[in-house]
A and B are shown apart, each in its own frame.
Chain A
Amino acid sequence: MLTFLLKRTLYALISLLAITLIVFSLSHLSGNPLDALLPDDATPAQIEQVTRHLGLDRPITVQYLTFLQNAAMGDFGDSLKWKGQTAAEVVWERLPATLQLGGLALLISIVVALPLGVMAAVYKNTALDAVATVIALLGQSLPAFWLGLVLMWVFAVTLGWFPTSGYGGLSHMILPAIAMAWFQVAALTRLTRSAMLEVLDAEYIKLARVKGVQERSVVWKHAFRNAAIVPVTYFGVLAGSLLTGSVVIETVFNWPGTGWLAITAIQGRDFPVVQTVVLFFAVLFLLANLIVDVLYALIDPRIRNT
């Protein structure tokens, strides 16, 4: 188990290193940061001073290593758009908003998808199963940004139940969270349903039924516990999609989180902030996957040896 854990951690670190390399190369392709920092009429002396201050006169490998060292310390330089703040501070400030919305979306996905998937499997080929199938199909086919707009039009503009957009309490969060969760609900329902169908077919479930175990107990205690492995492995992907989803949905609803920040920063050519967001998302995603791997190995010991 320890070897497995070490190996997975090493893999995650290698992936992270590769991502830092991509981000670093991108920021170098993105044009001269001096243009953004200095006024048009800067003197050669000023230019030289800033160049030296930023270390732009040193070899590229040295620059990369410095970048890595600073990144490890959480130092990504100063934001160009939000003057007087470091990039890390700007991202950190926006984090709670993203976590609130992402957390609610995650909650909705689990609370809706797991029971729906289980029920669709138990009542296979009934109206309930048909509803689950339609939801799963629509989830894959609806673009999140458009769903967000339609929800806004129906429930905020026409019915007036919720505010149209902006930052605020629970009433501000419901529409964007539903738009974000929709795709996940679809994917998770489908996964849970097929995992449950497989387990419900197993011999030990038949045995439990023959023994006279109550149906509710057969479904939730015997079958669901074993089927749950499949949705658990999906949470790594889920975390990643919610992060990506936050960029789109936060933009649609003007929700001032990290996704919204990334778009605003790119429009303002604020590369330190963009770098921080990209690296931050990548770390979160790799961490989520690492946790899933470990959980999976704990639940199913066969995995450890592969």
Chain B
Amino acid sequence: MRRLPLVPIALLLVVLIIPAFFAEWIAPHDPYISNLRARLQPPVGFGGTWQYPLGTDRLGRCMLSRILHGAKYALGISMVGIAIGAVLGTALGLISGYLRGWIDVVIMRLVDITFALPSILLALALASISGPSLGLVVLVVVFVIWGFFARQVRAETLSLRERDFVARARVAGASGPRIVIRYILPNLMNTIIVLATLQIGVVIILEATLSFLGIGIPRPAPAWGILVADGRQLIVSNWWISLFPGIAILLTVLSVNLIGDWLRDWLDPKLRQA
């Protein structure tokens, strides 16, 4: 086993996990309250003061506090979306790989279709019907990621079902569902865990992109994508508004990916090719 990736874990704790749970206590200001006398304050080192370490936005709201409070949206959406997507994709992948035949063809076609429909356009169409909402972001996330789980789980199930221990269980009279759950699924757990970890970065970027386009998490929530969008029109004069939330996204996704790579090498090196 390789050494624990300590730096990424520490980064992830500082940027994502601790703020997601404790932003209420560690943020210096309320993320929603504006201070019109302190509008567009630059960050410390660029003419700003320690009162607002990362500066303020157009309404005089503390950027540091908004970024800290934004962490819970990134963490919450990725956890919920990946949990649902992993369960759905794994179930369909197991069915597909174990039963084969026409149901396999149908499920794999469905995977191809979800990969063929541009996720952002789907989100746009959905958002314009019901307006942006948390549920909609989760729906789009599940739509985008379930296929990765279904495909990988199916491929491994196809080879596992031909193995001797499955054949013996079948001879011993185990039913189909029992074989799948008791004998095949446990052998897939490492793959599923690694795949889920590697998807966290994808999901956080997707959520941020949707929020940036105004079709993700509804305002006034300080989700990171929304914060970047707030600064977009001001990039010429007030660069810090867009810069710091983006760095938060970058550091989070970078450390999650490094941890995911490490987990993969440790738990499931064959996924390296995928």
Contacts and interface: CB of A to CB of B under 8 A. Distances in A.
A296 interface: no
B235 A152 contact: yes
B117 A274 contact: no
Interface string B118-152: 11111011111100000000000000000000000
A281 B228 contact: no
B209 A252 contact: no
Contact of B128 (A30, A153, A157, A282): A30
Contacts of A146: 208, 212, 228, 242, 246, 249-250
Interface in A126-178: 137-138, 140-146, 149-150, 152-153, 157, 164
A31 B118 contact: no
A149 B113 contact: no
Contacts of A140: 201, 253, 257
Interface string B202-213: 000100110011
B232 A149 contact: yes
B242 A15 contact: no
B109 A266 contact: no
A248 B129 contact: no
A285 B20 CA distance: 38
Interface string A24-43: 00100111000000000000
Contact of B239 (A14, A153, A262, A286): A153
A293 to B, nearest CB: 11
A220 interface: no
B118 A247 contact: yes
A149 B242 contact: yes
A267 B214 CA distance: 10
B124 A262 contact: yes
Nearest to A31: B129
A244 B112 contact: no
Interface string B239-260: 1001100100110011001100
B118 A26 contact: no
A101 interface: no
* Nearest 9 Cβ contacts at the A-B interface: A146-B246, A141-B254, A141-B253, A266-B128, A244-B118, A30-B129, A266-B124, A278-B121, A18-B113
